[in-house]
Amino acid sequence: MRSRTFFVTGLLVALLVAGVASYYASSHPDGLEYVAGETGFLDSAEDSPAADSPLADYQTEGVGNERVSGGLAGAIGVLLVLGIAGGLAWGVRRRTPAEADRADEKDEASV
């Protein structure tokens, strides 16, 4: 039960940071783009292939309020990363010896 509490607390903190605290972050979230504008080579930049995505430019497409749009984009990003990382971790997890034995017995029975 203790590890579950740890993970839920971590998820809530990540969602709060991404959804709420991100609004108070720098007004120049993309450091490379900011430096390119300051040094004068921003004109040579091309749009990203993902520029038309629903979460482009740290905003959620279709949400009119800038604060809600940015917070929602951050929260969706946290959940996407959690889903992808969790899925990968689940897929490559190590099985206990008992689980491995049961899987081997099941494989042998099906042959």
**Whole-model pTM?**
0.67
Residue 72 host element (H or E):
helix 66-92
11-41 core/surface letters (b: 16 or more CB in 10 A; e: else): eeebbeebbeebeeeeeeeeeeeeeeeeeee
pLDDT per residue as tens, the chain (111 positions):
688 899 899 999 999 999 888 878 766 667 777 888 889 888 887 888 888 888 887 788 888 888 888 889 999 999 999 999 999 998 888 767 776 667 666 666 665
| Three-state secondary-structure class, residue 94 | coil
Q: Which of 27, 13, 11 is nearest to 66 (CA)?
A: 27
